[in-house]
Structure 1
Amino acid sequence: MNRLVIRKVAVLGAGVMGAQIAAHCVNADVPVVLFDLPTDGGKPNAIADKAIAALKKLDPAPLGAKDRLGFIEAANYATDLEKLREADLIIEAIAEKMEWKLDLYAKVAPYLREDAIFASNTSGLSIGKLSEGMPAAVRGRFCGIHFFNPPRYMPLVELIPTVDTDPAMLDSLETWLTGRLGKSIVRAKDTPNFVANRVGVYSILAVMHHTARLGLGFDEVDALTGPKIGRPKSATYRTADVVGLDTLAHVVGTMKATLPNDPWHAMFEQPEWLKALIAKGALGQKTRAGIYRKQGKQIMVLDLASADYRASGGEIAPEVAEILKLRNPAEKFARLRASEHPQAQFLWSIFRDVFHYCAVHLGEIADNARDVDLAMRWGFGWAQGPFETWQAAGWRDIAEAIRADIEAGRATSSAPLPAWVFERDGVHEAAGSFSATESALKPRSTLSVYGRQLYPEQVLGEAAPDRGETIWENDGVRLWCRPDQDARIGIVSFKSKMHAIGDEVMDGLIEAVARAERDLDGVVIWHEAPFAVGANLQQVAEACKAGQFDMLEKVVAKFQRASMTLKHAQVPVVAAVQGMALGGGCEFLMHSGHRVMALESYVGLVEAGVGLIPAGAGCKEFALQAHRLAQRAAGGDVFLYVQNMFQTIAMATVAKSALEAVSLGFAKPSDDIVFNPNELLYVAIRRARAMAEAGWRPPMVERAVKVAGRNGIATCELMLMNMAEGGFISEHDYKVARAAATALCGGEVDTNAKVSEQWILDVERALFVELLKTEKTQQRIVHMLETGKPLRN
C-alpha cells in the first residue's frame, strides 16, 4: 500500500462540524482551506471568516493552541474554487440535505485533482446516492467520513465505502486518519445512520418509550442511565439537550423515512413533549432551555405531569442501587429481571431492547460485533458495547430471557432473535468477533498502522494483552520490557491509584533507573492515563496532622532526588504522557530526557491550588529555563522570562493540550506529539532506542544559574499587591504566590546573582515545608481530598 501524503485539506462548509474538522486538521499540522457561501459586499469570505474567529471562543476548545488558527484559510464557492486543486483531501460538511450536497458536488467536481480524495461528512445519508452525483472518474476516490462532535475529542470516525470506492484508497485514508488525526475507525455499511447513530438513537428512543411506560421522571432516568450503568455523566436526557433536540428529531426523522421495513419502525416517532419543546424553540443547551434549564443556580427539569419545570433531584431507589453495586453481571441482570421495582424493570427493558435490536441488525449495519461495540464506546462514551455487556451477563441466559419477553409481548418488537444467537456462547473470542453475514469470527484489521498500537482498546473476550516481562518491581512501580519490541528498553509503570506519587513510587523510580543504568539501554515511563496526578496528598495530610514535618522535609528531598535522577540518568529517560500530568507528575516529565505526548495531555504545576509551591524541582527547572533563555537574549534580563513562569505557577495554569504544554515551558518544541494515544508506547520505545544509539549524554548539573533575586521577588510582589487590593486573591494566596516568586527568583539573594541548582532546590524545599506548617494550607489539602475541589481561604 502506497503511503498517503496529505499536504492540504479543503473543508466544504463552515458550520459547527466543518469548522471544527478544519481545526483538528491544523492541530495535526495540516493546513486547511475552509469554504462556504460568498456574501455580498466587500467581504465575500465573511461566513468562513466568522466561523474561523468563533473557534477561539468554543469550549471545549477545538484548537490545541490558538496560534493554529492562522493555518485555516477562508474561501468561498464563487471566487476561490481554483484553490481546490491544492487539496489532497476534500471533506464536504454542509447541511444534511441530499439535494444541496449534490448541487455542490456538481459545482466543485471540475476543480478536483485526479488523485484527490473526496469524502462526505454525513451522519446518515446514503453514500451510494451521494456518489452518483460525482463524475465516474471520481467515484473510486469517494467515500463517507463521519466525524463525531466535537471532532477533536471524540475518537470515532465511521468510514463508509460505496461499491465503487477503491479499497486501497480506503485503507490509505484509514491509516492517515488513525495515525495523523488520532482517530478510531469503524468501517460502516451504507445503511441509514450507519453504526453508532443507528444503535445510539434507537437506545434513546427505547429509553423514552420505557420512561413513559413506567411513569419515571427525566431526572430519575438520567440518574439511572449515567455512570451507574457505564454511560457518560450526561446520561440520556442531558445528552439530548447537549446534542440539540432539533438534531435528535432530525435523526429520528431520517430513521423513520429511510427504514420503513425496520421491525422497530413504529418506535421511530418523536414524543409529543419533544415536538412541543421544539415548537417553542426550547432546543436544549444551545437555547439554554430544553428538557433541562437553569434558573439562577438551580437546575430545573421538565415535569410532564404539571407541564412545567421543577427542581431536578432524581435519585435511584436504594434497592435498585444495591443491585447496581453487584460485581457479577449475571447476578445483576438476574436481579433486575426479578425485581418488581419500576426502576429495575426500566433498566432490564432498555438493555433487553438494545441487545435485541443489535442482534437482529448486526449483519445489516456492521461487518462484525466488535465494530458495533467499539462504535458505541468511541461514539457514545459507553464503558462497554451492547454485545460485550450481553456476553458478560451470560450469553445464553440473556438470550432465553429476551426470547421469553418477545413471546410474552413485553419486547418492543416481535421480531425473533436470529438463529445464530442460540448457536453461540458469545460473539467475542480470542480468534476474533462474530460476523453475522459471514457466520464466522473476524480478526482485527491487519493494516500496518495498527502494529503501532501495542495496547489497543479491547472488547470483552478478546485475547489478553501481552503483559511483557517483569524485570523488577516494588509496591509502587513495575520495571518491565516488551522483548518483541526492544528487550533493552525498560518500561516503568506506576502501580498507585491515579498514579499518585508516594514514597513507594519514588523509591521504585530511583531503583528502576539505577537498574536501567546497569543493565539496559534506556527507560520509558508509561502507563494508561493519567500520567500522574501529583504527590500522594493523603500521605501528606496524615503527616501534617501528626506534626511530622521533619519527615515531610525528607520526603520532599527524595522527590527532588527522583526528579534529578530522571534528568541526569546515564541512559535516556522518555516520558510517555497521556491525560493528566499534574504537580509532581508534571515535574517528572519536565525532568525526563525527552517527552512523547498525546495531544490530549493536561499538564500543569497545580500546587498553588492546595496552598503549596512546586518543590519536586519544578521551580528550579523553571528558574534554569529562564537563565538559559536570558543567556541568548540581548541584555540578559532573567526576570523577563521569570514573570510568565511566575504567573503560570501562581495561577496553577494547566495546559489544555500537549501543544500548550510546549508553549508554557512544561515540554520542549523538540518533543514528540502523537495524536493517537495508543501509539505512545511504540513511539516512546523507539525514541529511547534512537537516543541511546545517538550516544545519549545527560546534562551536567549547573553550578552558576543567574537568578532574578530580590528585585525579581519585589516586582512579583507589586503584581500581588494589586491583585490583593482588587480582591482577586486572599491573604493566603498572597503568601503562597510570594513563596513561588522567591523560589523562581533564587531566594533572597542579589539580583543577577549566580547560584547552583542545589541552592534553588534547597530554597523551594524550605518554602514548601514552611507552607505545609500553615493552618490554611492544611485546610486546603483536606478540602481537596474530601471534595476534589480547591478551597479559597
Structure 2
Amino acid sequence: MTDRKLIKRVAVLGAGVMGAQIAAHCINVGIPVLLFDLASQPVEGKAVNKNAIALKAIENLKKAKPAPLGLADRASLIQAANYDDDLNLLADCELIIEAIAERLDWKHTLYEKVAPHIPEHAIFATNTSGLSIGALAKGFPDDLKKRFCGVHFFNPPRYMHLLELIPADDTDSAVLDELETFMTSTMGKGVVRAKDTPNFVGNRVGVFSILAVIEEARKYGLSFDAVDAITGSKLGRSKSATFRTSDVVGLDTLAHVIKTMEDSLPDDPFAHLFKTPDVLAKLIAKGALGQKTQAGFYRKEGKKVLVLNPDTMDYQPSDTTSSPLIDRILKKPIAERLELLRTTDDPQAQFLWAIFRDIFHYCAIHLGDIAESAREIDLAMRWGYGWDSGPFEDWQAAGWIQVAGWIKEDIDQGKALSNAPLPEWVFAASMSASQAVHTPEGSWSASANQYISRSSLPVYKKQVFRAPLLGDGSPDPSTAGSTVYENSDLRVWVETSQPEVLIASFRSKMNTFSADVLNGLQQAVDLAEANYAGLVIWQTASLKLGTPGGPFSAGANLEGAIPLVMKSGPAGVEPLVKLFQDTMMKVKYAQVPVVAAVAGIALGGGCELLLHASRRVAAMESFIGLVEIGVGLLPAGGGLKEAAIRAAVGIEHAGNTNYLDFLKTSFENAAMAKVSSSAQEAMKMAYLQKGDILVANVYELLAQAQNQVKSMHYAGYRAPIQTLIPVGGRSVISTVRGQLANMRDGGFISEHDAHIAHKIIHVLAGGDVDAGTLVTEDWLLKLERQAFIDLIGHPKTMERIMGLIQTGKPLRN
C-alpha cells in the first residue's frame, strides 16, 4: 500500500445536515475541507451555479442552532464542489468522508462515481450510523478495501465527543490507527472502536435503552414527562432525559435506526422490541419530527411546554415531577439505590429498576458481538448519550454477582423483556473473584474471554489523565501527583510525568474565587518562582466522568461576599476586592510563566484571571466573558484595566488617537455581559490573545499547558515591565454617556443598567482626566475598586445578587 501523508485536507461527500456539520467542524479545528453534493441543473434554460446545493448548505450553517461553527463567518472557508466537475479535487485530499443518506444503493452508486478519483494515499470512510461497512465495501478493488472504514460522528459533530471507528474485514490496521490518532487529537473526539454490526455500539445500546424505556413506561402507566422527570440528570444521564432527547435527535432519525435494527437483527433475543412504537409512527405520519418541526413528544407554545397525550395525540401542559420518595432513593449510592428501587412498591421505582435491569441484561448478552470489551460500551454511552457512568460501571458499582442474581431471578420469573439467560461469562470464576468488568489489568472482553488493556497509541501520551472507568485504576486528578501546598479551596501540586511544572487547581464550588483561592494562588506563584519552571492553572472539572468539559471558574463567590456587606456595609468588601486585584497583579508579573488552561465557563473573575495569565491554552468549547453587570456589578479584578491597556496598545500600533474606536468592543462586551460561544469567538473578543493555544480535545489540555510553560521557560521568559497607560478620559466618557441616555430613554436598557454602564466607561476611559493622560495600572484598579464598592451597596444590585443566588437566573431590574 502506498505510504500516506498527514491528513491536511478533507473532502466530505454529501451536503446534508450531517455532512455540512462535519465539514464545519473541520474548519473549527483548522482543517481545509471540500463539501461535495450533486450538481445543480439549469432551470427553464437559465444557468445556475452548479455548486448551489453545497453553497446553500454552507449558508445554512451560519444560522443553525446549536451553532456548528465556532465563528459563523468562517463558513466561507468551506469550499463548495459538485460531483460532475470537481472530482479531480479529491487528488489533494488525504481523508474522504461520505455522508449521504442511509441507503446502501445510493451509497454504492456514489462510490462507483468517486472511486476512480480517490488517490492512493487517501483514506476513504463512511459516516453511516448503522449500515454494514463490509457490505458498503463490496465491489471495491483490494487496495481501496484496505483504506475503507466507518467513522460515525454523533450529532451534532461539533459538540458530541463520541466518534465510532468501524473496520471491515479487509481494513488495514494502520489505517485505523492513523484515523484514531487524527480523530482524537485534531478533531477532538473520544474514539470508540466498534465491531461491524448493525448500529455499532452507541446507537445499538442507546436505541435499545429508549425502546426499553418506552415499553416499561407503557407497562407501568407513566407519561412521557413523568419518564423524563426521572431518567434525566437525577439518574446521572443527559438533562434532556429520554423523550426530549428523542425530539432533539429527530423522530424520523430515531425511527430509521430502529428500522435498521428490525431489518438486521431478526434473531436478537429482544427482537420483538425492534419495531417503531405506534406513538412514534403516528407522530412521524403527521409530520411531528421533534425539535426540527417544533413538535414531537413535546411542543412549545411561547414559554409554555406541552407534552403529548398518546391516547388522544393532543398536547397538554407538562407539569409532572418525580415523587419525593424517588428523589430520596436516587440520592443513595447505587448499590442501595438499586435494591430500594427493586423492592419499593411504587410504579416509578419499579420502572427505574426495570430499565436498569433491561440495559444490564442487553449489554451482557451482546458484549461479545458488538465491542471488543466492556470499555467501549461504557465510554460510548457516556460520550454519545451523556450518561455520567456506563451500564457496566453501574452494574459493577452496585455489586456484580448480587445484581446478576437479581437479573436472573427476574428472567426466571418472566419479568424481563427477554427470557434469554445471562451469558455464562457473567458468573465465571474471574467475575466472581474480581466482581468487576473494569480492573487495572483491563476491561472484560466476552469474545476473548479475558481482560483487554487500553490502546497504547502514542496519541494518548498527550492525555495526562485519560477518561477513567470505575475500577480501572486510573488516577484521580483531584488527588494525583504530589501536593506541594493546599488549603480548603485550592490545591497546588505537581504531576509525576512533568514535575518541573507546578499546577494550581481550585476546590471551591464551580471553582469560584474565595479568600482561600486567592491566597492559595499567591502562594502558588511564590512557590513557582522559587522552585519551578512555571505554573499552570488547571481545573480537574475539565474531565467530568460523563461528557468532558466543566467550569474553569464561575467568578467571585457572591454568597461569601454578602455577609461582609451585611456586617460592615459596602466598604466591608473592599479588602476582598483588593486581595483579588493584588492576586491578579501577582499572576501577571510573576517571574515565571503562568499559563491558564481553560475549558467550559470562565466568567467574571474567571475571565479576569485569564486576562492576567502569561498565556492561555483553551479548549474549543470555552465560554468566556465579563458578566458582572448581570448581578449589578462591574469587573473589579483588573478586567477593565486590561481592556484599557489593550486599547492603548491598539492606538499605538494604529497611530490613531480616537480612543473610542479601541474601547468600543471592550465596553460593549462588559456592558452587555457578552460571553463567547467558542474559543474562536473569545479570540475575536480579545479575551484570548494572539499566541494562545486552542486545543480540540479537552483531555489534552493539561499536557498542552505544561508544555507551554516549559517552552516559555526554555525561551528565557521574563515578566512584562509595568508601563504608563494613555487613556481616553472625560471626552470618551461624555460621548458614551450621551449614547446610554438615549438607550435608557428609548427603553432598550434599564435605569440601573445605564448606571452600571456609566461606571464601566468611567473606568475604561481612565476617569475624569484629559484625553491622552498617562495613568498607572494601580490608578485603574482603584477606579474599579471604588465603582465596585459603590455598586454593591445599591439596592437594585442587591436585588440582582439575591435573585441570582435564589433562582440561579439573572434579574434585570
TM-score norm. by structure 1 comes to 0.98
Match of 1:662 among 683, 705, 715: 683
Q: How many pairs does the alignment contain? A: 790
SS in 1 for 2:803: helix
Paired residues for 1:572-721 under 5 Å:
572-702=593-723, 704-721=724-741
Contact 2:641 2:763 in 1 (8 A): yes
* Residue identity matched to 2:72: K
User: 1:514: how far off?
Assistant: 1.0
Aligned positions of 1:309-458 closer than 5 A: 309-326=315-332, 328-423=333-428, 424=431, 425-458=435-468
Deviation at 1:269, TM superposition (A): 1.3
- Per-residue CA deviation, residues 5-27 of structure 1 (Å, 9 max, x unaligned), is 11211000111110110010011
* Alpha-carbon distance in structure 2 between the residues aligned to 1:404 and 1:332: 18
Shift of 1:297: 2.6
Q: 8 Å contact 2:565–2:571 — kept in the other structure?
A: no
List alignment gaps of at least 5 residues for structure 1: none
State yes or no: 1:227 paired with 2:237: no
- Counterpart for residue 145 of structure 2: 139
Q: Is the 8 A contact 2:3 2:121 kept in 1?
A: no
Post-superposition Cα deviations, 1:171-209, rounded to whole Å, max 9, x if no partner, equal 011001100011000000000000000000000000111
3-state SS, counterpart of residue 632 of structure 1: helix
Instruction: Determine if contact 1:109/1:135 at 8 Å carries over to the other structure.
Output: no
> Take 2:223 and 2:567, find their aligned partners in 1: how far apart are those partners?
49
Shift of 1:286: 1.1
Residue in structure 1 matched with residue 529 of structure 2 by the alignment = 517
Listed one character per residue, the Cα deviations across residues 55-114 of structure 1 (whole Å, up to 9, x for unaligned) are 111121111122322210111111111111121110100000000000000000111111
- DSSP 3-state at the match of 1:654: coil
Q: Which residue of 1 aligns with 2:520?
A: 508
Work out whether residues 58 and 76 of structure 2, in 8 Å CA contact, stay in contact via their aligned partners in 1.
Answer: no
RMSD: 1.3
Compared CA separation, residues 742 and 3, structure 1 to 2 (3 A): farther
Alpha-carbon distance between aligned partners in 2 of 1:30 and 1:512, rounded to the nearest angstrom:
38
Equivalent residue for 1:247, pick from 239, 245, 253: 253
Q: Alpha-carbon deviation of 1:543? A: 1.9
Q: Cα offset for 1:502?
A: 1.0
Whole-angstrom CA distance in 2 between matches of 1:137 and 1:431: 37
Equivalent pair of 1:323/1:332 in contact (CA under 8 Å): yes
- Structure 1 SS opposite 2:100: coil
Give the 3 Å change call, closer, same or farther, for CA 141–401 of structure 1 in structure 2: same
User: Shift in Å at residue 372 of structure 1?
Assistant: 0.4
For 2:668 and 2:139, the matched residues in 1 are separated by 55
Q: CA deviation at 1:306?
A: 3.8
Post-superposition Cα deviations, 1:369-415, rounded to whole Å, max 9, x if no partner, equal 01100000001111111100111111111101111111111111111
| Partner amino acid, structure 1, of 2:559 | Q
Question: Alpha-carbon deviation of 1:674?
Answer: 0.7
Does the 8 Å contact 1:643/1:716 carry over to 2? no
**Is 1:286 matched with 2:299?**
no
Deviation at 1:317, TM superposition (A): 2.3
Q: Is it true that 1:296 corresponds to 2:317 in the alignment?
A: no
Q: Distance in 2 between matches of 1:181 and 1:174?
A: 10
Residues 442-486 of structure 1, C-alpha deviation per residue, up to 9 Å, x if partnerless? 11100011111111111111104060011111222211102322x
Shift of 1:238: 1.0
* Offset from partner CA, 1:133-172 (integer Å, 9 cap, x none): 4232211111000000000000000000111111112101
State the Cα distance separating 1:722 from its structure 2 match.
2.4
1:635 shift after superposition: 2.7
The structure-2 alpha-carbon separation of the partners of 1:307 and 1:659, relative to structure 1 and needing over 3 Å to count, comes to closer
2:790 to 764, 770, 790: 770
Distance, in Å, in 2 between the alignment partners of 1:338 and 1:573 is 54
Q: In the alignment, which residue of structure 2 is the partner of 1:484?
A: 497
- Tell me, yes or no, if the aligned pair for 2:5 and 2:121 is still in contact at 8 Å: no
Q: Matches of 1:718 and 1:261 in 2, distance apart?
A: 75
1:423-443 deviation line (CA, Å, top 9, x unaligned) = 212211111100001111111
**CA deviation vs aligned residue, 1:587-638 (integer Å, no higher than 9, x gap):** 1111000111111111111111111111100000000000001001133332
Question: Which stretch shifts more, 132-141 or 496-505?
Answer: 132-141
- Name structure 2 gaps, 5 residues minimum: 43-47, 542-549
CA contact (8 A) 1:4 1:176 kept: no
Please state whether the residue corresponding to 2:75 is helix, strand or coil: helix
**Residues 2 and 538 of structure 1, relative CA distance in 2, 3 Å threshold:** farther
After superposition, the Cα gap between the structure-2 partners of 1:770 and 1:76, relative to the gap in structure 1 and judged at 3 Å, is same
Secondary structure at 1:164 match in 2: coil
Q: Identity over the aligned pairs, expressed in percent?
A: 52
Post-superposition offset of 1:250: 1.0
Separation in 1 of the partners of 2:563 and 2:472?
Answer: 43
The answer on 1:791 being equivalent to 2:811 is yes
Question: Match of 1:483, SS?
Answer: coil
Q: In 2, are the aligned partners of 1:3 and 1:172 still within 8 Å (CA)?
A: no
Q: Is 1:26 aligned to 2:38, yes or no?
A: no
TM-score normalized by the length of structure 2: 0.96
* In 1, Cα distance between equivalents of 2:566 and 2:55: 57
Distance 1:255 1:103 in 2: 24
1:177 and 2:183 aligned = yes
Contact 1:492 1:525 in 2 (8 A): yes
Residue 61 (structure 2) pairs with residue 55 (structure 1): yes
Answer whether contact 1:2 1:172 (CA < 8 A) is retained: no
Equivalent in the alignment of 1:541: 562
The match for 1:201 among 201, 207, 214 is 207
Q: Which residue of 2 aligns with 1:36?
A: 37
**TM-superposed deviation, 1:507:** 0.6
Mapping 1:259-278, distance limit 5 Å: 259-278=265-284
Say which SS state the counterpart of residue 723 (structure 1) adopts: helix
Bigger drift between 388-397 and 709-718 goes to 709-718
Q: Residue type of the partner of 1:415?
A: A
CA distance in 2, matches of 1:765, 1:76: 59
Of residues 22-31 and 307-316 in structure 1, the stretch that sits farther from structure 2 once superposed is 307-316
Question: Are residues 4 and 341 of structure 1, via their aligned partners in 2, closer, same or farther at CA, if it must alter by over 3 Å?
Answer: farther
Task: Give the secondary-structure state (helix, strand or coil) at the position aligned to 1:490.
Answer: strand
- For 1:735, what is the secondary structure of its paired residue? helix
Aligned-partner Cα distance in 2 for 1:741–1:365? 60
Q: Does 1:462 align with 2:472?
A: yes
1:200 counterpart SS class: helix
Q: Distance in 2 between matches of 1:304 and 1:480?
A: 56
- The match for 2:746 is 726
Query: What whole-Å deviation, never above 9, does each CA across 1:680-724 have from its counterpart, x for those lacking one?
Result: 11111111011111111011112x211111111112113212221
Q: Is the 8 A contact 1:638 1:706 kept in 2?
A: no
**For residues 4 and 408 of structure 1, do their structure 2 counterparts lie closer, same or farther at Cα, with a shift above 3 Å needed?**
farther
* Cα separation, partners in 2 of 1:574 and 1:315, compared to 1, 3 Å: same
- DSSP 3-state at the match of 1:138: helix
Q: 2: CA distance between counterparts of 1:134 and 1:560?
A: 65
Look up the equivalent residue of 1:232 and give its one-letter code: S
Deviation of the 1:551 alpha carbon = 3.0
Cα distance between partner residues in 1 of 2:769 and 2:330: 61
